[in-house]
Structure 1
């Protein structure tokens, strides 16, 4: 990739080659331009950078460590390492961009943060950021996900956020995004929509990527310090793709590192039974941007499903779409059963309970280790599984002796 990659992508108009952009109603175009202008002006200032670095160190607990999975590696082969984003304050990588977005909102004089959430980790992170900065917070969440992720719903409410149930459509992540956008349209002057991934209209995919780059920067340096070399493979789960983009950006120029983005294969590869956008999608427009998109025969976003609420989105980040076409990243799938198996394997062999989203990446790392037993594998463990334990117990507990 170009040495000036981050200056080249996105373009001034927000495109990653043919993907991205901002396909918006006229009343939002000016507001998006204000956010874009503010981001470039404020985020490069000494005061903003200094405050964000202080937050990451003294509040978030960064840097998060890289950990070698000794027993998991002994059982399956290979050398499996985890970037422990589950140890980031609030339990996932999401706080990396939420604190950045909230800090930007503060500098812009905004009073309210609005967002969607699927698994609830973005919602918890944004509620955390809102509490830290003294801002109002409104989180839109599908009723299906509210039932699955009850612990995170309670956490958001304790942190002072208003949780808005979304009851139309499939009642999951796509509908939550629709609902949050509608709420934002009512008062864009005093509120800001804090998108939960590297998706949405420009400048959000760029902003979220930039705030998440800290993950890859830390992991690359830590892995080299631990082993004296770079990993053979880097693995991360992909729904919208923020944790993966944060990790991959540090390795794009390293041809010896194979990058794997893991999507949810769900129950089967039939329509509505998975959310494997890169595998079965084609270019389309959703939520104000162009990306690979799972579509029905009319070109509308098709129904999606995943055992992991944070991955059941029919689109994907525009930068991921570009990297797919450039063959810089290999995108593959892991199904529900493989995910649940990995959830329990990591828990029982290493004492680390992963988020179901992250368990997709762990499952793929296990496959890689079995296939290439001499390889080193760095996994972005993007979140912890506290939020998932009730759901896993109710639906899979008997199969695993619980």
Structure 2
């Protein structure tokens, strides 16, 4: 069943919780593979124990403050707002976290959980490389081995992050099957994990997958929403009219949405990749054009091909290049608690350059989708209205790619 607000020992608020079967409404669920199901049960039990453990809570609090650099600030983008006209645009600056994105929030928790369970290694997939860098960072900090599976297309595109992972001591496994992107990286990582269940923990990179991963990732990412709500009230005296975040799997979006799900007057908007256009097959607009289905051991909205298999998808942003979406987002859409829009590759590039030139902030291409949407709708809103965008990552990793695409 789905549960309304609950406050845990962290003081974090969870507005949507899974049933005992790992379901969010009809979405999510537990994996049926016997060996993996046992491993997932062990992870879930360990997770439930550590979030009540005072030593763990104290350690997470210390690392957030002294290692990650939390709380991340709220920034009023005055020049961008004036450029767009209309609503005032604000950013939750997750790009200022250590490793340059929101991913470190859950990676620290996952690696601490791995140690609690007596594991010596963490295994994961990555698309844009931000999760891979964050996990490699946390593993180095905690003294664990780290193995990252990454599609060959993304390795070529995001080589700065590949270099960072290698420097941090991670083993990179190139995945060339299929489209050579994020979905195939997930497949490959799960296969390796199945061979190393006793010694390793699969540290998934978004709020998706079989239970308990959506709950674990959203739990650690909810710190973003908790901070943002308090900060925005302190800064403006009001709640934002819109809270906006890009959506691939959905970790940064569920993180910031979690702070505002009890506020019906705040519109929550997830922005997914329209790629080369929704009228083409070159997009990853799962919530806009997908259907209810199953992927990687859980139920969600998914883009399917003519044979009923997960379709090849496209996005200029490697971290959004996924044919499914987290189960919490699937439920939020059906309940009308969040809406899901899209932005094209071209809009994303325009937003990337606009924020860079007007505010001196180079965003990740993933985040630029959310910025593009905010720029699009701001002009039709009142100057008294506000938009809060989760600036989920910085764009260092994308600079070489951008230089090949944009005439400077």
Q: What's the TM-score, normalizing by structure 1?
A: 0.97
- Residues 343-381 of structure 1 show CA distances to partners (whole Å, capped at 9, x for unaligned) of 000000000000000000011111121111332000000
Give ranges in structure 2 of 5+ residues lacking alignment: 7-12
Within-5 A mapping of 1:152-301: 152-270=161-279, 272-301=281-310
Q: CA deviation at 1:270?
A: 4.3
Asked whether the 8 Å contact 2:16–2:328 carries over to 1, the reply is: no
Distance in 1 (alpha carbons) for counterparts of 2:316 and 2:249: 15
Give the 3-state SS of the residue equivalent to 1:57 in structure 2: helix
Asked whether the 8 Å contact 1:271–1:302 carries over to 2, the reply is: no
Asked whether the 8 Å contact 1:271–1:304 carries over to 2, the reply is: no
1:335 is matched with which residue?
344
Distance in 1 (alpha carbons) for counterparts of 2:252 and 2:134: 14
1:80 is matched with which residue?
89
Asked whether the 8 Å contact 1:231–1:378 carries over to 2, the reply is: yes
Q: CA deviation at 1:390?
A: 0.2
1:317 is matched with which residue?
326
Give ranges in structure 1 of 5+ residues lacking alignment: none
Q: Does 1:149 align with 2:158?
A: yes
Change (3 A) 1:372 1:154: same
Q: Does 1:100 align with 2:109?
A: yes
Give the 3-state SS of the residue equivalent to 1:201 in structure 2: coil
Q: CA deviation at 1:297?
A: 2.3
Distance in 2 (alpha carbons) for counterparts of 1:176 and 1:227: 42
Q: What's the TM-score, normalizing by structure 2?
A: 0.96
Asked whether the 8 Å contact 1:240–1:311 carries over to 2, the reply is: yes
- Runs of 4+ in structure 1 deviating by more than 4 angstroms, as ranges, are none
- Residues 15-56 of structure 1 show CA distances to partners (whole Å, capped at 9, x for unaligned) of 000000013311111111011111101221111111011110
Which structure has greater helix proportion? Answer: 1
Distance in 1 (alpha carbons) for counterparts of 2:305 and 2:344: 21
Give the 3-state SS of the residue equivalent to 1:184 in structure 2: helix
Distance in 1 (alpha carbons) for counterparts of 2:81 and 2:292: 38
Q: Does 1:68 align with 2:70?
A: no
1:119 is matched with which residue?
128
- Residues 140-196 of structure 1 show CA distances to partners (whole Å, capped at 9, x for unaligned) of 000000010010000000000001000100000000000000010001111000000
Distance in 2 (alpha carbons) for counterparts of 1:189 and 1:204: 18
Distance in 1 (alpha carbons) for counterparts of 2:280 and 2:175: 23
Q: Does 1:371 align with 2:380?
A: yes
Aligned-residue CA RMSD in angstroms?
Answer: 1.1
Give the 3-state SS of the residue equivalent to 2:367 in structure 1: helix
Which of the numbers 391, 395, 404 marks the counterpart of 1:385? 395
Asked whether the 8 Å contact 1:241–1:317 carries over to 2, the reply is: yes
Distance in 1 (alpha carbons) for counterparts of 2:167 and 2:112: 21
Change (3 A) 1:372 1:7: closer
